[in-house]
Amino acid sequence: MATNNPPRLSRRAVTAGLVPAVAAALLLGGCGGSSPGTAAAKEGGAAADQNGPGEGGRARAAKVPEATTYTTVKGAPEDASPGGATDGLVVNPAESVPVLDRPDGRRIATLPATQLGGPTWVPVVETSGDWRRVLLPSRPNRATGWISGTGVRTARTPYTIRVDLAERKLTLLRSARQVGRWKVAIGGAETPTPTGRTFLMATLTRDEKAPSPIVLPLGTHSATLDTFGGGPGTVALHGWPDASVFGRAVTHGCVRVPDAALKALARVPLGSLVFIDG
């Protein structure tokens, strides 16, 4: 737990301390970041557009943010059992749906049907009548919200991913049975990988020669870096060309995994739970 809320570094300290590292990461293509700033600007524009004709001009919707990796959802109830397993239920809204702070409660966000160019799949962590409590991809970490169970596609994923920060290992489980276990690189002392229950948010590929052909962003963010490489500080699972990093705490929050792990993880359904234990 201590690693979950480390003292927030001042912006200046982060900038000063990480300039060489950030520069190096960007030269390498970062871990997913080749064009810092542009992606964020693009998504920000899309979010601001939600009052346009495409969304039907929802006056109230404009007052709450879209729940994406780029936003902060205020008033989102915190995940009550960050270590708790579920039966693997995941949901995909057919269209943008309101996110409430409790069943029948106050609207705190809008969950879009797609994000990062793919479908939004979020895990259900609690059910009450027709209401589903889901993990949100937004800040703050462990943000949850309630959506109506009508008008959403449901599916069940047998997969869970466990990252053991103490052991520096990642385990992939199918129906609670281990199907793979690999040594991984985790966040360094000043930029720890955040703990808790999160989920596989997207499966991204990129054209360019990057350190990783596939990047798997999670629904959680670095607690110490407000932004990274122009992005919102999203934590991801991804590959790394230098195998010597596996088993070490050297990253800015991401979990770098070997090729075999990346190959297996890229087939895990979106919305599958990821448990990060300190």
Partner 1 sequence: MRYSHAVRGVLAAGLITTGLAAGLVTAPASALATAPQGAAPQATVPQGEGSAYGLTASGPVSVPPVPAVSSTTETVRKSLLREESTDLVKASALDVSASAARARSTVAKAAVPAADLMADAVTAKCRGGHGSAHLARAVIAGKRLDASPPPNTTIPVDVEGVGRTSLTLNKQERMADGRLAVTAMELRLPLPGKPATIRIASATCGKSGPAEQPADAPAPTPVEHDLPVTG
Question: CB 125 → partner 1: shortest distance, Å?
Answer: 6
Q: Which of 93, 85, 87, 88 is nearest to 157 (CA)?
A: 88
Q: Exposed (0-12), middle (13-18) or buried (19+): which is 154, by Cβ within 10 Å?
A: exposed
Smallest separation, CB 252 to partner 1 (Å): 4
Closest distance of CB 171 from partner 1, Å: 19
Residue 175 token pair? 């129906």
Residue of 31, 221, 252, 254 with catalytic role: 254
254 belongs to the catalytic site:
yes
Cα-atom radius of gyration of the chain, to the nearest Å?
A: 18
> Judged by CB, which is closer to partner 1: 171, or 220?
220
Secondary structure (3-state) at 41: helix
Closer to partner 1 by Cβ: residue 39 or 143: 39
Largest CA distance in the chain: 53
Q: Note if 238 is an active site residue.
A: yes
Shortest CB 169 distance to partner 1, Å: 19
Of 110 and 171, CB closest to partner 1: 110
- The structure tokens 């993880």 sit at 265
With tokens 């920000």, the residue in question is 44
Cβ closest to partner 1, residue 143 vs residue 268: 268
Token pair of 107, please? 């609207």
Residue from 31, 221, 238, 252 carrying the catalytic annotation: 238
- Pick the closer one to partner 1 by CB: 56 or 260: 56
Q: In the numeric block, which tokens belong to residue 168?
A: 């520096």
As a whole number of angstroms, the distance between CA 87 and CA 178 comes to: 16
Residues 6+ apart with CB under 8 A from 107: 60, 61, 64, 98, 99, 100
CA 130 – CA 110 distance, rounded (Å): 18
Least CB distance to partner 1 at residue 9 (A): 13
Q: Which residues are catalytic?
A: 238, 254
